[in-house]
Every structure is written in structure tokens, then in C-alpha cells.
Chain A
């Protein structure tokens, strides 16, 4: 009924389009999924460069032993803020931006289900991050207790402490609202005939991610609120002297924190599952297995949290339980990697920039996955825990994992969004520089960790100098290479060559049935069964 109405009102909608806000109002009052998606992506890009700048300051201080630039407390602020900005400011908003742009187009809907909520969930973010970044200028400096915020150390924070917690509350509210919107859109706005098991895998990965977010963001909010009341209102949730338990915070935090790492990576699985079939000119191998693998990973993410804290002194049975559940994650993750490989097998492969990022994701994410299996082995983890080996591991899954997934997704859909093809040679330069420097940056950190260098230290013993220098050079190279990305996007918007509906020869999915750039209200009339069949992803 609603669709029939929408179809009949087509001309009204076109007329309505003329009345939509222009200038600054277009953005501040935005309710359109593409405008909001663009704002999310631009915001994530800005945060990526701020967080990356902090990372380069960290690598600058670690270039050689001795303290050359920063007080150790400021160094701790750098690592803390780098993590908070990259996780909550860059990766998560980038995924929400991609969801906003793609989900309505991919399920055959005119827009997201809850447009005003969509506006609100975006506009919370600039306030949250203004508050967080402002902590650099308050007495005591930015938070320096690590992004994990373990008490009692976190409770020693100065004016930054309550500001950080309120900023996290705002980010959490934004994520929960955004996730509700994604779930409602996917479950209610699909075109007739677009059954759940016909949806593209990016939509599936986001549906599951959204449930994870709704499940765990309130847990984080609870944990930081208890920190707040411990500091200001005399409670002792995490103070042993008052009957509390500092380790309880870690349990609550990681009950949020482990699903959180899958929140950061699952949409990347979705993107890779879009890109690899397109450039292999072959449907995804084992579509249903891919869906079930994502769901299994999401389920397991709730029962592995204490593997982040094997050294806190858990009972033997607890250590064994968390070791075994953690190892189980390798099985669905393996299924995904094997299915991606099988998708390329007997394909017809070409290597445009999105495919290059997707292929390097396969290699480098697998390295991160294998070091993850090593970290699950509790006795060995007693050696790895809190060393650079862990830093190397999670950066391998987050940088060539999540970040390459985001960059690959932008390269994949940028022609659709702008209606123009970008400079692919420049995109390939961006890829090769990123792929080489990311390994120069993070691979030596495995060596440093195994040789005994702890993480989160501003200065180190001289035998760690050589590999730290290599890592820093990789860091500067990686950071500078990323400047190509905004330039390429600007050049694409200004000077790109116009393209048709289907930017890539092998691309399937409803978004490629729309013109490039797509109309303001993506699918004003739902796609017909013939269009759905033509766009089928598997």
C-alpha cells in the first residue's frame, strides 16, 4: 500500500525535491540518507586524519630511545586519544555512513526508515568529539589511562575524566540510534521480493552489527557511569577498600569490548563480500554459509571477553573456557576466508582499486587472524599479553582489516555516489603505498613484542631501537600516503569522467540498477521482480 502510494505520488515527490532545504540547512536539517551518509563519511575522514596525526606523534617519540618530544603523561594521552578517536570517531561513523548510503539502495527503499532519528544520531557526534578533543586543553590534559579506562588509574584523571565519560555517553547514544535505524530499515523497508536471504552480504553484516551495537553500547555506558559515580558520588563499585572490585570493571568493559571489535570488522566482511564477487565476475561462494558465519562470530563474541585479561588471576576453569571459546572463533572466520578464496577460484579477475584493497585485506586480515589464534593459547598469552605483539595483532585486523574495508568500499561505490569514475592510477598508487607501508609499520611490532617490549611505553631499552625505527618510518609513510585519498575524491567530484548505472562490469546488486548518481529518494517505486532478478547477488 505504502509503495503504491509512493508510486502514485511520484510527481509530488519530484516537486517536493525542489523544496528541500539548500545551503547550510541541507546539512543541518538533513533527513536524506545520502546527505547524512556523506556527513558521516566526511566526519569519519576528519577523525581518521586527527587520530592518524596522533599516531604519527606516537611513532615520532618512539623513533629512538630517550624522550625527545613529550612528557610521558602526554604520551599516554596520545595513545588513549588515538584509540578513542579511531574506534569511535573514524571506523564506527565510517560504517554508519556506508550503511546510510548503501542500505536503502541495496534493499530497494527510498530512504532510511527513521530520517529524523538519522539526523539526530549524526549530529550528536560533532558535539561528542568536540567535548573529547577539548580535553587536550583542560587542566591535567587529555585522558591518559588508556582507551580501556581501567580503574583505579582512570579515577586519577583530572578535568578530562567527566568530559571523556560524557563524550562516550554521547557516542553510545549515537551508535544505538543509528543501529535502530539500520534494523528498522532492513526489516521493514525491503522491496517486495527482497527476502532476507536475497539481501547483499553488506546488508547482512550490518544487520548483525546493529544488533551487537544495541546489545553492548549500554554495557559500556553502564561501566563508565559506575566510574563516574565512583569518582564523584562516593560509590565503590571498583574500589576494593569499599567492597568493590577493580577487575569487575574489566569484565564489564570487555563484555562490551569484544563484541565491539566485531562491530568494527563485520561490516568489512560485508564489503569484501561485495567487492570480490564483482571483480571475480562470479557470485559469492557459499552465500548462506557466509551469513551463518557472521551470525556465529557475533554469537561467539559474547562469550570470549575474558581472553583480554588472562593475567588478572582467573581460576583454571575460567582460563580454559575462554581459551576454547576464543579458538572456536577461528572456525567461522576460516569459513569466510575460504569462501572468499573459492569465490576468486575459477573467476575472471581484474584488479581495480577496490579489488586491490579487498585482496590485501584477505592476506593481511588472515595474518591478524592467525596471530589471534596464537594469542588465544593462554600459556603463550602470559608472554604476549600487553606487549607489542598484541599491538601488532589488533592493528593488523583494524588497519588492513577494518580501514582497508572502508577504503575499498569507498573506491567501490564512489562512482555510484558521484556519477563519475575516479583516477584509477592514483587509486593504485594509494593502494600500493598503503599496503607496503602498513606492513613496514606493523610487522616489526610482532618482533618487538616477542622480544619483550611492553605496549603503552613512551621510551624503551636500546635493543628495541632498530625495529622501532623501521616501524616509525612505516608509520610516517602510511600516514602521508593517506593524503592521496581526499585529493582523489576531490578530483573525482570535480573532474571525474561520467559513468553509467553500472560502474564495474561484474557488479550486481540493486544499487547498480539506479542511475549514477542515484536520485535523491533512491527507490521511489520498488524495483520489479525482473529488476530484482537482474540484480541478484547470488
Chain B
């Protein structure tokens, strides 16, 4: 089969892919294609019809579709960006050959000089957390529920229990309530919410939705459709205390139990993965371990805010443009590897290249109050850190000692907290 040569292939037309493609076009790349599976650009933003997007990036509060529309409108200025919708990338090799399929073009092969991975993430399903019980209709992940309601316009339930207090779970608690679908309870395995604090307040507390911390679902009940779930508190070992289990009647169980970067293609291409994020290992230019393949947005690590995704993806777009246009410096620049220390679950990027302005996204392993976040020579005080909210640190050149080879990152001196 014939193959078509292009400069940059952007896989995914959500916030990451859009920002990366635009940044690459600004830098002078001639032939860019964005591939996306959906009928419209914008990715998951299209079903996020609530507001709260863009406060940092645009300094105003937008809904998901509005946020996406800002970027989509910019595409008009860049004829060098082609968009292929309803097109799925089914294969990616380490030498950047891509196979796509679409109703219009059938199966096609492209050879890209650079590839930007921007596939986003997906939700963990019921099986991944192994909830015992029957297998009735009415068990949905929060994102599927959101799609069924906000895109398809369906009413997927009448009375729901939400397991997991991640951001999508919290947002959906409010969304269900506003549509007259009763939310009987939100259950959270951990002693603290995994979502942003503002979402706990605005989505649960403002609507008097009960949040049961240190609780989980131990059984799904019902034969045809869900008729209820059995819930139980968990001990400090996170094992359910069955003697204290209780039934909650509901016809719907909504799961918001974590997001997983969607890296099937990255693995196929032989990109080295980082177990702490579930995404490819990337450096401060969003470069993966495979030359010419870049990764940004939720495919690299799950972000709290789309604003951060846009910012990071612009870096990926610029770095991919530099790679394609051959604008590399003569000698290899200095690099340091990030070395996670105390109370660190993950740090992205995992490597820092001298001369590249760097934002570090640091996720704590456990909640703590009154801490100091240390990264190289950088020190900052934080009133609170939790695994549900990343700490964003702007690193300055003087913060990094490139001769040291590593950049130690740690959260120090705190008081353990339950909030």
C-alpha cells in the first residue's frame, strides 16, 4: 500500500492535540494532520458542559465546549493543519509509521517525521476494581454516564450511588441532581476526597449530597437492573468491615474510580513507560524515549485542569516542530533526571533539559498540612497537599544543578492530614 509522508501527526483532537498542533504550526511546520475518532474536535471537553475551565489560560470561566471552541476557531488561521475526523489510528510503529482507518478513506498508511501522542485517558471499569455481586444493567463509569446524558440526551437512571470522589464523580453528582436523578450517596474508599476541593464544595456540599469517606461498595445487587448496592466502611488497611455493611437502594451505580492514560499506541511504538503516572516517560520538551515521538496532556499524566494540558501541549508542539525543522543545537544539551523523594507519588516531566523553561507537576502520595515542596534549589510553602490535587511548580534555571545529574523532589516537614 502507498504511504503518505507528513511532517507531524497529532493523534487525538482534544485539548492536548489542538494546542500542540497550533503551537507546531506557529513554529513554521508545513504539513500537520490531527487524527480524531470522534465526529467533532474537542475530545472529552464536548461532554463537560459544566463551567470552571480556562480560569488560568484564558482568565475567564468557560464550559468545556466553549474552551474547546477557542482552539478550534484558531485552526482557521492555519491551513497547514488538516483535520481528519472519525478517523482512528490503529497502529503506530517506532519509526513513526501510522495506520489509520475511517469510513471515508478506508485504511491508510502515513509516514510522519514526528508524532505527538495526545490520546487522553480512559476510566477504570468495574472489573478493574473487582466489585463482587451480580452483573445487572445500570453500572456505568462516570464518563459514560456523562456521555449518555450530555451528548446523547438519555436518562440513564433514577436513583444513583456514586463510588469514588474523583472530579468526574463529583461533577456527575451535581449533574444528576440537576436533572432530577437522586444521588443517594457518594462513597470514597480513602479517608479524603480524590477530587479538587472546589468540586467537593460546589458539587456535593452545596447540594447536600452525603459523602461517605472510608467506605466502598462490597456488592452489586439486582438481576436485570441494579436494585441496590451493599456498602461498608473500610478499616485503615482499606479492607471492608463486613459486619458494618448496609444496603443502599438505587438503580444505578456510577463508578469514578480512577483514570488511566490511554497508551496502547505508545506501547506499540516501544515508548518507555513511567509506572507512577501510567504514561510515557517525558522530558521538559515532552519528548518520549523514542526519537520524534512526543506526548502531552492526559496521555502523559492525568491533569487536574485543562489549562495545564493546553500549556504543556504547546511545549510538545514547539519541541516537535524543532525536531522536524532540524533546529537542534550542535551539542547535546545537559539533562537531569527527576528523583522522587519523600511523599511523592509522581513527578512530571521525568527529565529536565537545560535551557527549557519547566513546569513540574507533583502529586503527593498522602495528604499533609504545612509542607515545604523542594525541587532542586526550589523551596515553596504549601498549606496543604493531597493526592487529589497536583502541586504545580515553575522551575527557574537557577533552581536546577545540571552538574548533579539528578533533581531531587520531595515534600517535607508536614503534618499528616485527613483533609
A and B associate in one complex: no
